[in-house]
Structure 1
């Protein structure tokens, strides 16, 4: 029987709506950019490109593949770098950002190595991290461009990608914790044996009502979530529940 007991976990942190409030202004701006991009791709010069068709593509592909980009690539032959560059072209990112104070102190207090794991592109996520002032607390920064498996783009919630990441960094799933706002990503991580933390404070009303079902005042914790926190600042107090 194994007596394995790690001294500290390896943390995989999501970025948007986990470490900062992307729903405030950033996500609406990215969605607007995506709408423009998708409308351009769908336009055939004959049929009207309605908002309904645009929404069906943007949201439908996100729900089906975990990222709108994958659907645009698979069904419309879109070039990934071009899509990411165009949709994440935000003129005044710093002014759009909202976040809690003390993130750096939190990350410094939290024992263990930290890795940023985001489905956002590298250029955008690097700027966000710099504005948050937390770059130095992360050993690695893994953005969507680095999420290829067998030459195929496999962003979260891909278990293939997660398993490869663990092998590459020499860490066992049981020693790793994913901190996320997106339940689908947490579910696939738990299926691999990772610890899971669900961050809820930046979920907007529409997301909340869908998740809470019959009890809209309370977000129900699914069985694949080990710890539910409003803010990542609550993590140090929850360490005992992740062992």
Structure 2
């Protein structure tokens, strides 16, 4: 029986949704910083002055979930150009190494595995490939920057999209791990079992009302029902 299968061949509606960036790999790799630098550079190229670009991007991130959505709404930028100059320009292959421990953890998952990211599909695939786990996911729910008003976490529409694409069952059959407290809280509000993946102090988790682990490798400690 393969992961996500059942003894009688019926599809298992239980799904473990996993965020990718700063969740499947540690935040201290610095990828988030590199991405922010590219976003700020893109903002300057599209009319934002150097003094305000950082604050503007942070405002867009806060108000719209992703800075690119603010760029699209207020500056009419080409989403494909943003993807090329930000996501696709990251030197992921030089920074992210294969993670045998992550692979072993994922291989022991007894339910279906699905990646759920706010990044582009190309970026998601690159990260999973660098980590050496791309073959362990049944699919990926990502953001298509070229789709008008595309949904992203923590919006309800994004979670609905993930459930639809993964063909998941009822909320109690959805399990989720993410490094964002807002994303974890949103999943929990929907009835999902949600885990915060963060090396930060434990009281951060209390605000989300959910379990917390310092690294994704520790998921079996808080979700033992999903592991062999």
TM over 0.5: yes
Segments of 5+ residues of structure 2 without an aligned counterpart are: 1-11
- Equivalent in the alignment of 2:3: none
Structure 1 residues 35, 146: CA separation in 2 closer, same or farther (over 3 Å shift)?
A: closer
Please name the residue that 1:164 is paired with.
Answer: 161
- Residues in 2 aligned to 1:177 and 1:236: alpha-carbon distance in whole angstroms: 12
Contact 1:186–1:196 at 8 Å: present in 2 too?
Answer: yes
Q: Structure 1: 5+ residue runs without aligned partners? A: 1-6, 44-48, 202-207, 209-216
2:213 counterpart of 1:235: no
Give the TM-score of the pair, scaled to structure 1.
0.79
- Deviations along 1:64-95, whole A, 9 cap, x unmatched? 11111111111111222221221123363222
1:26 aligns with one of 28, 31, 38: 31
CA RMSD of superposed structures (Å): 2.5
Give the 3-state SS of the residue equivalent to 1:55 in structure 2: helix
C-alpha distance 68-131 of structure 1, shift in aligned 2 (>3 A): same
- SS of alignment partner, residue 204 of structure 2: coil
- Structure 2 length as normaliser, TM-score? 0.84
Cα 1:8–1:154 shift into 2, 3 Å:
closer
Structure 1 residue runs of 4 or more that deviate by more than 6 Å after TM superposition: none
Verify: 1:14 aligned to 2:13, yes or no. Answer: no
Q: Distance in 1 between matches of 2:25 and 2:161?
A: 27
**Which of residues 17, 42, 46 in structure 1 aligns to 2:47?**
42
Judged with a 3 Å threshold, the aligned counterparts in structure 2 of structure 1 residues 218 and 228 are, in CA distance, closer, same or farther, namely: closer
1:138 deviates by: 0.5
CA contact (8 A) 1:73 1:80 kept: yes
Secondary structure class of the residue paired with 2:114: strand
Worse-matched range after superposition: 219-228 or 14-23? 219-228
SS of residue paired to 1:102: helix
For the pair 1:126 / 2:125, whether they are aligned, the reply is yes
